Amino acid sequence: MLLIPISSVFSQNYKVEYENRSFLPEKYKKNLSEMIIEDYESPKLYDLFINTEDLCVYKQKENLRNSNVETIGNYIQNFVVTNPKEKTVYQDMNIENRNYKVKSPLKLSERWVMHRETKMINGIEATKATMETSKNNTEVWFAKSIKSKCGPSNFVGFPGLVLEILIKPKDENEATGIVRMKSIETLKDDSIIKSYFNNISDKTISRGEFDKIYEDYQKKVQEMYGGNGVDKD
């Protein structure tokens, strides 16, 4: 469902819904139960809110299938606020029900290659950009007609709203990731978004400080569960 005109749009408040999926390699699935495969590959839904100043709020929709066991040894990212203009990222995080507000610089890669190739994604024309690293081949499709530098997570800074991301790992044992825009609508104001911006006005810590806290937490979990803590980047 699209609630915006296809022509170029400036200074709007948006709500964009994305579907995020990961697909395991077929040979890897042979050693896993159907339940584990289904849980891993099931779609995860995210919302991206954008205000007229092009500030981006990205958060996962509530997933009733999540359990407390899945969070042991992990941190929970409640939401991310990205400012492409000032190149800053604010992350609202939880470790064992304790909240942390993390501020870090936004690092935009200069290795993206822009292409002339286009395709339609839910009725919107998208342009292709690619980047190759030692681990992945990544495709990003962005809409020049929607004048925002926002996108899912840290995929920001493109000359248009990011509509789709495809991450193909070079290691055949790694999962392929796909993020795709499902719907987009304009909002009459930024009242939904303001609450997130108000939360980041509190005291923040650096990413390095948070990583140290998380490292100490993982050590504690490993001691409690005999080394079965789960690493999470």
State how far the Cα of 84 lies from the Cα of 173, in Å rounded to an integer.
33
Give tens-digit pLDDT for 108-146: 888 999 999 999 999 999 999 999 999 999 999 999 999
Enter the pTM of the model.
Answer: 0.83
pLDDT reported for residue 176 = 95
Give tens-digit pLDDT for 10-39: 568 999 999 999 998 887 787 788 888 888
Q: What are the residue ranges of helices labelled H in the chain? A: 26-29, 34-41, 68-71, 191-199, 207-225
Where is mean pLDDT largest: 5-19, 39-53, 69-83? 39-53
Distance set, CA 171 to CA 132, 135, 137 (Å): 13, 7, 11
pLDDT reported for residue 31 = 79
Strand-strand pairing, 205-206 and 98-105: parallel
pLDDT reported for residue 4 = 45
**Residue 5 confidence class, pLDDT cut points 50, 70, 90:** very low
Nearest to 47 by CA among 184, 200, 198: 184
pLDDT reported for residue 232 = 46
**Residue 97 confidence class, pLDDT cut points 50, 70, 90:** confident
At 214, give phi and psi (nearest 5°).
Answer: -65, -40
* Residue 204 DSSP symbol: -
Q: Which 3 state secondary structure label does DSSP give 47?
A: strand
Asked whether the predicted pLDDT for residue 163 surpasses 90, the reply is yes
Backbone torsion region of residue 113, taken as left when φ is above 0, otherwise alpha when ψ lies between -120 and 50, otherwise beta: beta
- Joined tokens for residue 92: 């609202």
pLDDT reported for residue 164 = 98
Starting at the edge strand found earlier in the chain, the sheet holding 13-23 runs 113-121, 124-132, 136-143, 161-169, 176-187, 13-23, 44-50, 56-60, 76-83, 88-95, 98-105, 205-206
β-strand partners of 184: 2, 16
